[in-house]
Amino acid sequence: MSFDPTRPDAGVRQFTVRADDDGVRVDRWFKRHLPQVGFATVSRWARTGQIRVDGKRVKPEDRLATGQTLRVPPGGDEAKGRAAPKRRALTPEEEAQAEAMLITRTRSALVLNKPPGLATQGGTKTSSHVDGLLDAYADEGEPRPRLVHRLDKDTSGVLLVARSPGSAAFYSKRFSGRSAKKVYWALVVGVPDVKQGTIDAPIAKQPGSGGEKMHVDVEGGQTARTLYRVVDKAGNSASWVELQPLTGRTHQLRVHMAAIGHPIVGDGKYGGPDAFLTGSISRKMHLHARRLVIEEPDGETLDVSADLPEHFAASMVQLGFDEHASDAEPDKGRPPLTKEDRKQVAKAHAKQYRKGRRGERKGRAEGGSRTGKAPVGVKDDRKAPATRAPAKGAGPRGGAKAGPKAGPAKPAARKPAAARPPAAKPRTGPRKPR
């Protein structure tokens, strides 16, 4: 049942606190659900005992709990004469586009499959975007759905939208707290040496790009970590990888894959000309948010997957990849490294190190003063067994050949102390008067 506080005959209202409002302050609850009632009115109602929770007086800063009954008096002077915000009328084409994107609807969320090329939010030169289509999902009397995270314009896949201010706050906490698990599929150029690992490389805005481009900045960047796994490969030309961001930096997956020498296919912004494959493979970016696992306000788990866009699916077929080879399962910890895994990790690290050294030598040969930052490396997040420290006094592995007269080692000869000036001869006899 809905209530109109502008009606003079509106009576006392009672609301049951939902799960997505658990722990919310009383004044914040009003801002979410009765925004026409200002803070001054809420404070006055609380001070005079007109607001009650389970029959008890409350203060604006008190917090609510799921299942409690909130009593709200009639009125709200600030609402008089204030018209409800008008919603933009959508064209039939926009209505159809919104309907085609919808994967599922729950009590608290809408889950969309965002197509590539459609921005999540608008900008100065962006008139078509997901945010502009959200009115299509709200019935009369319902709040307008709200974005709680975003995908890059050319990235496709799962996009969650909250259906109310309360659920928006709930989901935002799950994304910022990193309890939401996201798994992406990507086609990348080449084949990573380490087939399953972690990219740990800080990211910052690239100077001179106007904030439109990011880069790896070991010294001044924000922490950024990405798990990846090679699912399959097409010779040495391309690989299909699963990517799971452990942090949420701008363009993180694109920057990280380019930084280790395997840019995402079609990502010319970070991979340059090398990001495009020859033949009939699409030049569009091949990055897709395949799966999202997130907690719902009612305690249930929302687990949803999005189908690939047409160009991505066609490229998978052309490269011989089978979609069923991956279920996009979020990482749950890895088994210990095998001996072969450790060799691959060491080999990849050595390769990256040599690349960095070649860059330094080239800079010196050209007479430059380039100091160059350390190359981005890849490490496997599975623990390698600790190596045992050699016994005290032990030589190198395998030992050196013993001489013909092996015996106790002679102590090293001590170096003679530096010559000191002779000490002054002590003075004898009476002192001469000054």
Catalytic site residues? 152
Q: Which CB contacts under 8 angstroms, 24+ apart, belong to 391-397?
A: none
Amino acid at residue number 167: S
**Helix axis angle, 39-47 to 26-33, nearest 10°:** 130
User: Distance (Å, rounded) from C-alpha 109 to C-alpha 167?
Assistant: 7
Residue 20 token pair = 């997505």
Per the CB < 8 A criterion, the answer to whether 21 and 166 are in contact is yes
Structure tokens at 428: 């004898």
Torsion (CA) 421, 424, 425, 429 in degrees, nearest 10:
170
Nearest alpha-carbon partner for 59 in 45, 71, 69, 72: 45
Q: Using CA atoms in the order 130, 134, 135, 137, what is the torsion angle rounded to 10 degrees?
A: 140
Calculate Rg over the CA atoms of the chain: 33
Distance CA(18)–CA(68), nearest Å, equals 8
